Structure 1
């Protein structure tokens, strides 16, 4: 009986929301309740100032507390701010779904999220990111609409970098410390055309528009990020994406980057 219940839950989850497991952003939906996921991510870029190829590696654990609440914890290691690979940051993330309007093959959901991080790196660029580059806090809302095989999502958030240089009156470095971030994401389920088993492999295609507008020191960027995703047996997920700049007046470490990640989910963990 327990195996049957798990099968039904996984099949429904795969059928209704596989195409909103975005690669560069979070949807309003949460991971299955009482599940734990382990995720390893590699980001690779070419530093436009040093000319070096550099990478960041993120190890993350995710917990579906219940159907409305999920929590993340992550640590990053990189050589982006040093000559060798080293630990650089740790962060915690929480998301709460406060609205859900579900149909048979569609749903509309909204969630609020908050994130906090600490980083050993110093603020050097106009682009704000608490995924390893800087330490700070972020909060915002997400709205996601699923329409059968197409999922659309929008995110709006506020980022505040909270590092000592922000209040150092003697510092001559003029960089932003606050920003609005936003994203518009679309995902489409290509395969399977019809679900018959949770062992079927899913193929999802994504495209995401990612942007930021800083305050104080006013700067902006707009990026586009296409990605492909394979889901195996409804529990293992392989992502590959390429992010490139459409427009910007920022001083950024790189205008484009590659991302590769693998995630494994353990269902019905009490």
Structure 2
């Protein structure tokens, strides 16, 4: 049963005849009768009684119509949702790593959503890239420039990288590194210049940060997760000469969408504020 079928019940009740309902709904009279019979079979109810050439609703019909009328009110209210909200309206799915969402985007999300009551954000967080070509996300933030595809690519900025090591330690610090598949990133290029083998390997920067905090390990971290480490006098921080590029991917069909444009501007501001901080 669908909404059009339910509208037939209301039309027959209001017009009193199949002919009147067909004129109102602009469908054939036989179609009205056939669909009404289908509805009655589906519900197991008799909805109308014929009396003096008029279709009169049964008590069961009146009960059904009370729900139909409530649905009509809700449908009308849904149609007015956009009119009642200031600014653009939409739901945007943003894919990024966990730490970008936690440290860069989410601290600034409340103010953005408060200023844009018609918008909703869904954060898709994972160390694995979503299938952007399959529309699993509307926007994606990548820390490596992706291959060309059916989407718009623009550079958001770059991220400072710091190598942390304990100022003093009784033994050689544990070297933290990233997996071999990330061997091309600036962090790994720098770490290959260091002596010793990596004994803590992970793609999770929060794990590396926690290990470094114990003042017995060394590793490279992006600026957005290491503010506390930079203030730690028991650690030596070295700014790497290379930075990590940040890229924004946008689905082509959304490039001119008002909600998307506002969200893109906000994402750019998030990274600008992170750099200034």
| TM-score of the two chains, using structure 2 as the length reference | 0.20
Name the structure where strand makes up a greater proportion of residues: 1
Q: Give TM-score scaled by structure 1 length.
A: 0.20
Between structure 1 and structure 2, the one with the greater Rg is 2
Higher helix share: 2
